[in-house]
Amino acid sequence: MKKIPIFGSSNKKILFITYHFPPSNAVGGLRIVNFTKKLPLLGWEPSVLTINEKYIENKDSTRIDEIRAVKIIRTMKLPTLIQGYLKIKMLYRDIFNKNCEKGNKTAKIQIDSNVLSVAHNPGPENILQKLKRYFISIFLLLPDQERNWIIPATLKAIREIKREKINYIITSSPPVSVHLIGLLIKLLTGIKWIADFRDPWLNQYGNKRLHVNCKLSLKIEKWMFKKVIEMSDTVLTNTETLRSEFIKSFVNLNSCKFIYIPNGFDENIFKKYEHLKKYNKFTLTYAGGLYFGRTPEPVFKALEKLISEKKIDPDVISIKLVGSCQYINNTPTKDIAKSYGLNHIVDIIETIPHNQAIEIIKRSHIALLFAPAQPFQIPAKVYDYIGAETPILALTESGATADLVNSTSIGKVFNPNNIEGIGEYILNSIRQKDNSIEQAKNRRHEFEIESVTKKLADLLNKL
């Protein structure tokens, strides 16, 4: 295959390829935003390839202000098999329902748009269920649901690379389909390519816990993953734990290929809030979504116990849940809070712009962090918590998140079942017996985006 020639090494133009980017409010875009803001100060000219705005469901227009100087190239997505399936199904429904009306029949077909779901059955699958799972995992979800942007993004990226004489690309996942774009570009151009992993592709057991799969789809996906790791010039991770896992999984490759560069926070944003006073009530705040097993219920239990033992006055406590926090495992959060007698102190706030969320975190006394079953990931909100200098109460098991909180002394880590420990930490914080935040300030500069981006620039200069 003839490769498109690349250009001189003195060219310091770099193209980031990412599915999530402003005005999307997805936290996945923050890492690339931070890189693109600071790289120009280090002699690099970044641009970004991402999806068209019409595909973005949840927007935060305030984030656009941060990256107005960055060139953004947007791409379309091809129609999906899911859309075709739904159109055919809806057409059949309409025809069937009209016939029902003519025959005075009452039964009508309802359309379930969530065609990717496979009902859980305690017994063995029948042949139709197995066929559905194989079809979905191979033709709709390989390697992910966003696969339909791979071809348009690849073509647009190659045009941009040729026109602007770009020598470097960084693909940042999830979704992992972005790395297939990088792989195609690498094969066609020979360009220098960094594959950036914000999350693992496959878990430590070699499969996907949260997605429909089958033996064949997993076999194909493992091959894709292997080719991405082998063909990229550098593999970047945002946690040391994930880097170590990659080194252990690819013993045939030089460990120097795997580089850890953490996420970070923009000090300029937090300077705006440095003079804010804390809320009058002792406030615990969580900012984000309650999904993948994330729940404030252990905090509710700890507070209920403290109140029943008359160790704290409920009138001086407030809990703020900011974002997609209306439900916990399909049960209204307000109902769960009420069951612990805390409905009057729990404030559920709809999704708000990022800067407003930071202001709430800064004014809070404790920042809550829920990270269950994520041994290799660190939620992006941790870095906002560090930037805000608000002590963290982390409910998680051993892994990357626990390592970061413990090593920086920014707060305390507890197993979600340790209700006694959680309550004791809250009580000590109310009584101002915890000074973890003062210790954490010594390492805060490591996560400022100037320091983080300097590591990326040094890496690029060596490629």
Tens-digit pLDDT profile for residues 259-268: 999 999 988 8
Q: Count the neighbouring beta carbons within 10 Å of the beta carbon of residue 415.
A: 15
Assess if CATH 3.90.420.10 describes domain 267-447: no
Structural tokens at position 48 = 């970004």
CB-neighbour burial class of residue 350 (10 A; exposed 0-12, middle 13-18, buried 19+): exposed
DSSP 194-235: EEEESS-SS-TTSS-TTS---HHHHHHHHHHHHHHHHHSSEE
Q: How confident is the model at residue 1 (pLDDT cuts 50, 70, 90)?
A: very low
Q: Higher model confidence: residue 66 or residue 219?
A: 219
Q: How confident is the model at residue 237 (pLDDT cuts 50, 70, 90)?
A: very high
Q: Residue 55 and residue 51: Cα distance in Å, rounded?
A: 7
Question: Tokens 């049960």 label which residue?
Answer: 331
Assess if CATH 3.40.50.2000 describes domain 13-78+144-264+451-462: yes
Q: What is the rounded average pLDDT of the residues 432-446?
A: 65
194 to each of 17, 321, 362, 373, how far by Cα in Å? Answer: 10, 36, 34, 27
The rounded radius of gyration (Å) of the Cα atoms in the chain is 24
Q: What is the rounded average pLDDT of the residues 170-176?
A: 96
Backbone region of residue 71 per phi and psi (left: phi > 0; alpha: psi in -120 to 50; beta: other values): beta
435 pLDDT more than 70: no
Residues 6 or more apart in contact with residue 124 via CB below 8 angstroms = none
Q: Residue 459 and residue 348: Cα distance in Å, rounded?
A: 43
Q: Comparing C-alpha atoms, which of 316, 260, 265, 334 is closest to residue 66?
A: 265
Give residue 116's pLDDT. 52
Give residue 260's pLDDT. 96
Q: How confident is the model at residue 112 (pLDDT cuts 50, 70, 90)?
A: very low
DSSP 303-314: HHHHHHTTSS-G
- This prediction has a pTM of 0.84
Q: How confident is the model at residue 97 (pLDDT cuts 50, 70, 90)?
A: low
- Residue range(s) in the chain whose domain bears CATH number 3.40.50.2000: 13-78+144-264+451-462, 267-447
- First-to-last alpha carbon distance for the chain, in angstroms, is 24
Q: Residue 191 and residue 140: Cα distance in Å, rounded?
A: 30
Q: What is the rounded average pLDDT of the residues 26-46?
A: 92
Helix 400-408 with 240-249: angle, nearest 10 deg: 140
